[in-house]
Amino acid sequence: MFELLKKVLKPYGPSGNETEVAEVIQRELTGHVDSMTVDAMGNLIVVKKGTDPNGKKIMLSAHMDHIGFIVTGFEKQGVLRVTSVGGVSADSNQYRHVVFGNGMEGVVVSQSLKPGESRAMKHLFIDIGAEDEADARSKVQLGDVAVYAPNVVRLGEHRVASPAMDDRSACAVLLATLLELGACKDTVIGVFSAQEEVGCRGAKVASFAMEPDVGIALDVTAWGDTPEVTQPAVSLGKGVAVKVMDSASISNPPLRDHLMALAEKHNIPYQREVLAFGGTDAGAMQTSRGGIPVCTLSIPCRYVHSALETVDLRDMESAVKLLKAYFEE
């Protein structure tokens, strides 16, 4: 799992520019699925046909994009003014190493705050080592997007920290499931979705086009196992989290309970999850066309939307086992 995870963590892929991620996944899946297409939104949609002509169409969705910094202006000193693409926290971005799509590297810096002022995106700039504004403009353009520079770190035997775990860890889970899954009666629609971090736009389009009967989102969730952090009540290393509710969707009770029952039947570690904030592609799938039953399987992740999001490989492996049990049952 670690080697597969490293492959999907490396590519540049902020919201709206997921092409490099899709290309890596396509190379891995060649010869293992019946079809692969990239739609107008940038979603990579792969299909593994079921053996039963009357079987269901099950959509699994994991998003390829991650958060970033988009250039909004240039200062005379050669630094870049930026704002967020997705949920970037200004407070956690002092002296962060970032990289643009053209390979240009930089450091995110915050200017000094006035008394009583709270840090916001307007205080941040990126230093790319330019001599002046003209030099900066020759290196990047207005609208270019920087992301946290790839940096995969092993923490102990089972845990890995890196930018873009949200949601490349779930992309690795979906990829591993498609690679390992044998023949099954239902058709699997694997969607590696685009632009989730800016409103689940890719999943909305894909679910409308593919008309699935059931939707399962694969994403990370927050953590509750570090000092002074107890909610949500999930922990790294204790298994995949089966979501009950978040702010964007309520999981379909029969589907949710079936997944939990499968986990218990096959001795797959799992946790129940209630998230008081956030959302996943399940929210987009749930309201597509006439509506479909959905659930989210979550990978517990510490320090979400930071430069070192941290997951446990065992939780990813339990997610793969649960998905295989669901299709092979």
Task: Find the CATH number of the domain harbouring 289.
Answer: 3.40.630.10
Range of the domain at 175: 2-66+164-328
Q: Is the pLDDT of residue 314 over 90?
A: yes
What does the pLDDT read at residue 104?
98
Q: Does 94 lie in the same domain as 28?
A: no
Task: Name the 3-class secondary structure at 285.
Answer: helix
Residues in the chain: 329
For 191-206, write each residue's pLDDT tens digit: 999 999 999 999 999 9
- Is residue 157 in some structural domain? no
Tokens, residue 248: 């964007």
What does the pLDDT read at residue 326?
97
In the block, which residue shows the tokens 């204790």? Answer: 238
Lowest-pLDDT range, 6-20, 110-124, 135-149, 256-270?
A: 110-124
Residue ending a domain, among 148, 176, 208, is: 148
What does the pLDDT read at residue 22?
98
When pLDDT is averaged across residues 292-298 and rounded to a whole number, the result is: 97
For 22-40, write each residue's pLDDT tens digit: 999 999 999 999 999 999 9
What does the pLDDT read at residue 91?
87
The alpha carbon dihedral of 163, 167, 171, 176 has a sign of positive
Q: Is the pLDDT of residue 114 over 90?
A: no
Torsion of CA 317, 319, 324, 329, to 10 degrees: 130
Q: Does 73 lie in the same domain as 206?
A: no
Q: Is the pLDDT of residue 73 over 90?
A: yes
CA 1 to chain centre: 16
What does the pLDDT read at residue 233?
85
Q: Does 75 lie in the same domain as 56?
A: no
Q: Is the pLDDT of residue 232 over 90?
A: no
Q: Are 213 and 292 in contact (CB under 8 A)?
A: yes
In terms of phi and psi (left: phi > 0; alpha: psi -120 to 50; beta: otherwise), the region of 211 is left
Pairwise CA distance, residues 67 & 11, whole Å: 13
Q: Does 89 lie in the same domain as 61?
A: no
Q: Does 115 lie in the same domain as 38?
A: no
CATH of the domain at 128: 2.40.30.40
Q: Are 202 and 21 in contact (CB under 8 A)?
A: no
When pLDDT is averaged across residues 202-217 and rounded to a whole number, the result is: 97
- Please give the tally of structural domains in the chain: 2
What does the pLDDT read at residue 163?
97
Active-site annotation, residues: 196
Q: Does 201 lie in the same domain as 57?
A: yes
Name the percent of the chain lying above pLDDT 90: 92
Q: Residue 92: pLDDT band by 50, 70, 90 thresholds? A: confident
Q: Does 55 lie in the same domain as 9?
A: yes
Residue ending a domain, among 148, 176, 211, is: 148
Q: Are 213 and 57 in contact (CB under 8 A)?
A: yes
Q: What is the largest CA-CA distance in the chain?
A: 67
Lowest-pLDDT range, 111-120, 247-256, 308-317?
A: 111-120
Beta strand ranges found along 143-239 (DSSP E): 145-148, 153-155, 159-162, 187-193, 214-221
Q: Does 308 lie in the same domain as 235?
A: yes
Q: Is the pLDDT of residue 230 over 90?
A: no
Name the percent of the chain lying above pLDDT 70: 100
Q: Is the pLDDT of residue 11 over 90?
A: yes
Name 266's Cβ contacts closer than 8 Å, sequence gap at least 6. Answer: 321, 322, 325
